[in-house]
């Protein structure tokens, strides 16, 4: 056997000495590829067959027992290691059981809620990268707040929405913080310290504003409401009015974009200007209405109206009638004596007169409604909107379906403007979306404008060229690998042929020596 190895090594040395540099490089490349493949196979085969359910060990026996019992109920194959870690069969089972444990509150309280993302993986998804980033920001922020002398413990929860394509659709970042002050600290009463913590939180998280930060103590009492402890001045009122106006404009923009961008495309619709004039004055209206009294209601079962109404109902009535005609007999006493009638009345005696009096006092009752109405804090006085809609760009192709290029290498494109009929329809949709009112003086303008897409087209051209270069590179690599394989086959054939000729020559020499 040793002689055979020695002979084999000697033959390899002879062949290696006879080979050219190209042949040696080809053989070394093949040997390197085989070695790398062998190492990868060993690495994959040595990887563990089970994955961790939770990235941290579970020290409490009660929690461990409840989790194991729940795994057994689901029929999941599991294993508990010596350091109190739970392993399950595969990643799909781990995801399913984590969801069940979280839903049923079986995750131990002392377990870090982020530990489910601490499991080693070959690759990371974008979601896991975002989670790790949010976790790092949260931990760093908690360390910043704990560095303050007045804070004994802190818990921070951040909500970072996913990034939207347009700023108008982006949801705000929010933060909730629970502070536990140190004994004998004036943190709860000192407004400046609370304002300082708010600034620390705001500058630690990108996109976070004061309105989206809530700070409470361990009893759930909100601490950052110091604005309510002072009178709202004119500047604060103006700021709130501007914010209300801006929020209303953003709401109108979202409604318009959600409708038109699904029709014309995401990047073809742009609002140049949307201005809403609001009346922020406070109004209180006291209204008194009088209406007839219904004596008989209408019967809905009959085809005719049976309603009987009267203007009013008599509550009380007083009538006085008085009539007088002439003076009548005026006695003057015994004959020959002067009467007691005053001279003024004596002059009127035996004169004919007529007197009449009529008086009517009637109290009527009517239906009355008193309404005390306080108008809304704002009212829209006028809306003006200007919108631009871009046409469509289409790439030109030849009869075979290949893209046509300009002499400078850019793609040939054709512009298709927006039809006037489509502009009119878009204008009608916008009017309905904003509640257009001609009496209010609203103004809506929709025009067709060609957008500048030079940068976009340059990026598309560069991406197309990059794809072409990538295809050429891949094709060159494939051709190179094929050439290497062909060279290896040819080398093998040549080696066999040389070996055969050498053997024939040796046999011929042996016969000659024997002769």
Closest CA to 305 of 314, 297, 313: 297
- Same domain membership, residue 42 and residue 109: no
Closest CA to 390 of 266, 260, 256, 268: 268
Does 391 fall in a domain?
no
- Same domain membership, residue 219 and residue 156: yes
- Same domain membership, residue 181 and residue 90: no
What is residue 495's predicted lDDT score, i.e. its pLDDT? Answer: 87
CA–chain centroid gap for 69, Å, is: 39
| 350 Cβ neighbours under 8 A, 6+ residues apart | 327, 330
**H-assigned helices in 342-453:** 343-346, 420-434
Report helix, strand or coil for 243: helix
- Same domain membership, residue 88 and residue 37: no
Does 480 fall in a domain?
yes
Does 116 fall in a domain?
yes
- Return the axis-axis angle of helices 21-46 and 454-514, rounded to nearest 10°: 110
Does 469 fall in a domain?
yes
Q: Rounded CA gap, 226 and 39, in Å?
A: 65
What is residue 115's predicted lDDT score, i.e. its pLDDT? Answer: 57
pTM: 0.37
- Same domain membership, residue 353 and residue 303: yes
What is residue 303's predicted lDDT score, i.e. its pLDDT? Answer: 83
CATH number at residue 185: 3.30.300.30
CATH number at residue 67: 3.30.70.2350
Closest CA to 426 of 384, 388, 394: 388
Q: Rounded CA gap, 436 and 433, in Å?
A: 8
Residue 351: phi and psi, rounded to 5, are: -95, 145
What is residue 17's predicted lDDT score, i.e. its pLDDT? Answer: 72
For 28, the domain range is 2-46
Does 509 fall in a domain?
yes
- Same domain membership, residue 367 and residue 293: yes
- Same domain membership, residue 208 and residue 132: yes
Tally of domains in the chain: 5
Does 349 fall in a domain?
yes
Q: Rounded CA gap, 107 and 95, in Å?
A: 14
pLDDT average per 10 residues of sequence, the chain (515 residues):
67 72 75 76 58 80 87 86 84 77 72 56 67 81 84 88 74 89 83 83 84 88 68 64 82 81 78 78 76 81 82 82 66 61 59 72 81 72 84 82 78 83 84 82 84 82 84 88 88 88 84 76
Structure tokens at 192: 């400046």
Structure tokens at 73: 């109920």
Does 281 fall in a domain?
no
Does 466 fall in a domain?
yes
What is residue 232's predicted lDDT score, i.e. its pLDDT? Answer: 43
């Amino acid at each position: 056997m040793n002689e055979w190895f020695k002979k084999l090594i000697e033959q390899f040395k002879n062949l290696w000495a006879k080979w050219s540099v190209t042949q040696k490089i080809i053989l070394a490349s093949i040997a390197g590829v085989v070695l790398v493949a062998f190492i990868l196979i060993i690495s994959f085969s040595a990887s563990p067959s089970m994955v961790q359910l939770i990235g941290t060990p579970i020290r409490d026996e009660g929690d461990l027992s409840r989790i194991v019992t729940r795994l057994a109920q689901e029929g999941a194959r599991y294993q508990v290691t010596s350091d109190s870690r739970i392993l399950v069969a595969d990643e799909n089972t781990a995801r399913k059981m984590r969801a069940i444990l979280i839903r049923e509150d079986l995750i131990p309280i002392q377990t870090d809620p982020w530990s489910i993302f601490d499991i080693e993986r070959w690759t990371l998804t974008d979601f896991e990268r975002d989670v790790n980033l949010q976790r790092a920001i949260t931990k760093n922020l908690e360390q910043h707040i704990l560095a303050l002398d007045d804070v004994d413990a802190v818990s921070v929860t951040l909500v970072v929405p996913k990034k939207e394509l347009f700023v108008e659709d982006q949801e705000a970042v929010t933060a909730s913080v629970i502070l536990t002050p140190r004994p004998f600290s004036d943190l709860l009463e000192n407004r400046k310290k609370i304002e300082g913590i708010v600034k620390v939180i705001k500058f630690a998280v990108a996109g976070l504003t004061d309105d989206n930060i809530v700070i409470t103590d361990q009893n759930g009492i909100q601490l950052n409401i110091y604005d309510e402890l002072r009178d709202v001045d004119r500047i604060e009122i103006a700021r709130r009015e501007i914010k209300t106006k801006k929020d209303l404009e953003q709401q109108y923009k979202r409604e318009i974009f959600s409708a038109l961008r699904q029709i014309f495309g995401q990047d073809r619709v742009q609002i140049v200007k949307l201005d809403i004039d609001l009346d922020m004055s406070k109004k209180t209206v006291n209204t008194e209405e009088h209406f007839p009294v219904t004596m008989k209601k209408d019967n809905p079962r009959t085809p005719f109206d049976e309603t009987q109404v009267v203007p009013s109902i008599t509550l009380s009535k007083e009538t006085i009638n008085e009539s007088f005609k002439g003076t009548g007999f005026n006695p003057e006493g015994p004959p020959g004596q002067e009467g007691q009638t005053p001279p003024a009345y004596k002059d009127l005696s035996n004169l004919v007169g007529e007197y009449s009096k009529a008086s009517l006092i009637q109290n009527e009752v009517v239906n009355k409604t008193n309404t005390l109405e306080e108008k809304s804090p704002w009212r829209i006085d006028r809306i003006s909107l200007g919108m631009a809609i871009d046409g469509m760009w289409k790439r030109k192709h030849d009869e075979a379906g290949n893209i046509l290029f300009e002499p400078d290498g850019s793609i040939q494109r054709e512009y298709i403007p927006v039809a006037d009929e489509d502009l009119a329809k878009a204008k009608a949709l916008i009017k309905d979306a904003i509640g257009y009112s001609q009496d209010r003086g609203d103004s809506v303008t929709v025009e067709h404008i060609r957008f500048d897409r030079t940068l976009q087209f340059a990026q598309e051209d560069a991406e197309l060229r990059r794809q072409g270069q990538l295809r050429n590179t891949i094709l060159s690599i494939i051709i190179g690998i094929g050439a290497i394989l062909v060279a290896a086959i040819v080398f093998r054939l040549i080696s066999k042929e040389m070996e055969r000729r050498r053997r024939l020559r040796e046999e011929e020499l042996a016969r000659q020596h024997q002769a």
